[in-house]
Chains A and B, each alone.
Chain A
């Protein structure tokens, strides 16, 4: 059966760490390499996709995260989500410039705020967060407590964490536990 639940976040303020659910927001996966692909994305979203590894870009409404050399995730808060997706789909997917997939229901966005958030994640993640402290807007895909996640470091001590819906409940419980004992 399809899981449409959001994780319950109780006790969201522990040890200078604030955990909050950022849902519902729209997420779209974009894949493509051609010049036309970049042009179309730029036109529809008025946003340049980040070229460099582990970075992100943003415009007034949209955030784009680099996932791999030909793959990005765009997320945004918007009421007319379908309109934007359909526009991208007809401009890109339909004419074979690349692929556009709606992944809004697949990933859950959780926001972590506070000076101890990197300590929490480090309990289950081998990633070196030193770079996150120095530069805003970095992103990465890694494993936290054996769970695949996408991390978007909006700015220092403020992370948007994306996790697959079926793992989200477990990860939230773990984050809460971890936050108790920093």
Chain B
């Protein structure tokens, strides 16, 4: 284990080891790790290759904004999932992840040759090059282009998992459980409004949960301590629902939003069995503007 790991945090349970496989090699992390944090702790930095020139890529960020560290999860024909961000995926016992867009492997990638010949690939290269000779198209060009297109591999068999969906109605929907999200949800709920707070991480608090030094203070306390109290307080409010591991996917007219709640993706393969994998929430938040009503 490299010394990159920060020990004794509240969010990683260092008493519980979780083993997983990355590119066929066995590693282990702790309960609460994301794939990204577990890989970094194991000293793995090279995660994938860039799309065209196959330049080496590592982990850049710590959430849904990650552009580089995307992986293929699983190798079963029906359950494999491409383009999963390592920073979003929580590791579980039995997880198998693979790097993408590289062959034969991520360290030695044949596609990397594109990088060396990049001066020979000007804009419009594809349109001009693959035109002739005409007979080459079907047998040579098309299979080659198809092989290099896309990043991961799609599943080829039907998804055996179960999914659910549900309509819900709320007065106020707060998206993002950071500092301001928590406070606004609290204010809304205390004003007697039925409120929903969603966050895509497993705990609410955003980046504030890591701020426990003197540079970050609220009300003369370390901001993470202060926030902990707030989180504890809002968990007791009746008309406030908090949904973690839930990300908003669409915002339609009349405040109609779609959210995906991740129910079992973080559980070990054994615990996943016979449970719903994800739930689609069809959220209708209260109309913000009713000035069109005449009375």
Which residue numbers of A lie inside 8 Å of B, CB to CB?
119, 122-123, 125-128, 130, 181
Question: Chain A contacts of B77 at CB under 8 A?
Answer: none
B164 touches A123 (CB 8 A): yes
Bound form: Cα–Cα A123–B282 in Å: 9
The answer to whether B282 and A126 have CB atoms under 8 Å apart is yes
Number of A-B residue pairs, CB cutoff 8 Å, is 20
CB-nearest residue of chain B relative to A126?
B167
**Residue B6 at the A interface, CB < 8 A?**
no
Interface SS, B side: strand
CA distance in complex: A121, B167 (Å): 9
A123 touches B165 (CB 8 A): yes
Chain A interface, >50% SS class: loop
- Given contact pairs A122-B166, A123-B164, A127-B167, enumerate 17 new A-B contacts (beta carbons under 8 Å): A119-B166, A122-B167, A122-B168, A123-B165, A123-B166, A123-B167, A125-B167, A126-B167, A126-B282, A126-B284, A128-B169, A128-B284, A130-B169, A130-B194, A181-B162, A181-B164, A181-B276
Q: How far is the CB of B204 from chain A (nearest CB, A)?
A: 23
Contacts of B165 in A (CB 8 A): 123
A interface footprint on B153-191 (CB within 8 Å = 1, 0 otherwise): 000000000101111110000000000000000000000
* B-side interface size class: 10 to 19
Residues of chain B within 8 A of A181, CB atoms compared: 162, 164, 276
With a cutoff of 8 Å between Cβ atoms, the chain A residues found around residue B169 in the complex are 128, 130
**CA of A81 to CA of B37 in the docked complex: distance in angstroms?**
71
A177 to chain B, nearest CB (A): 10
Once the chains are docked, how many angstroms separate the CA of A122 from the CA of B282?
10
Assembly CA distance A181 to B282 (angstroms): 17
Residue numbers in A under 8 Å from B166 (CB-CB): 119, 122-123
Shortest beta-carbon distance from A158 to chain B in Å: 21
Closest A residue to B163 by CB, please name it: A181
CA distance A122 to B284 in the complex (A): 12
Cα A126 to Cα B276 in complex, Å, equals 21
CA of A130 to CA of B165, assembled, Å: 18
Q: How far is the CA of A125 from the CA of B282 in the complex (A)?
A: 10
- Say how far B281's CB is from chain A's closest CB, in angstroms: 10
Residue of A nearest to B263 (CB): A181
Across the interface, name the chain B residue whose C-beta is closest to A131: B169
Which residues of chain B in 122-172 are interfacial with respect to chain A, using CB atoms and an 8 Å cutoff?
A: 162, 164-169
A65 to B: closest C-beta gap in Å = 23
In the bound assembly, the distance between CA atoms of A57 and B166 in angstroms comes to 31
CA distance A115 to B166 in the complex (A): 17
B168: chain A residues at CB < 8 Å are 122
**Chain B residues within an 8 Å CB radius of A123:** 164-167
In the complex, what's the smallest C-beta–C-beta distance from A63 to chain B, in angstroms?
A: 27
Q: Which residues of B contact A125 (CB under 8 A)?
A: 167
Residues of chain A within 8 A of B284, CB atoms compared: 126, 128
Residues on B with C-beta less than 8 A from A119 are 166
Contacts of B167 in A (CB 8 A): 122-123, 125-127
**Which 5 A-B pairs give the minimum distances between C-beta atoms?**
A128-B169, A126-B167, A122-B167, A123-B166, A122-B166
Cβ of A127: which chain B residues have Cβ within 8 Å of it? 167
Q: How far is the CB of B193 from chain A (nearest CB, A)?
A: 12
A37 shortest CB reach to chain B, Å: 30
Report Cα–Cα, A50/B166, bound state, in Å.
Answer: 31
Distance A161 CA – B92 CA, assembled complex (angstroms): 43
Query: How many Å lie between the Cα of A119 and that of B167 in the bound state?
Result: 9
Name which residue of chain A comes closest to B162, CB basis: A181
User: What is the bound-complex CA distance between A181 and B168, given in angstroms?
Assistant: 16
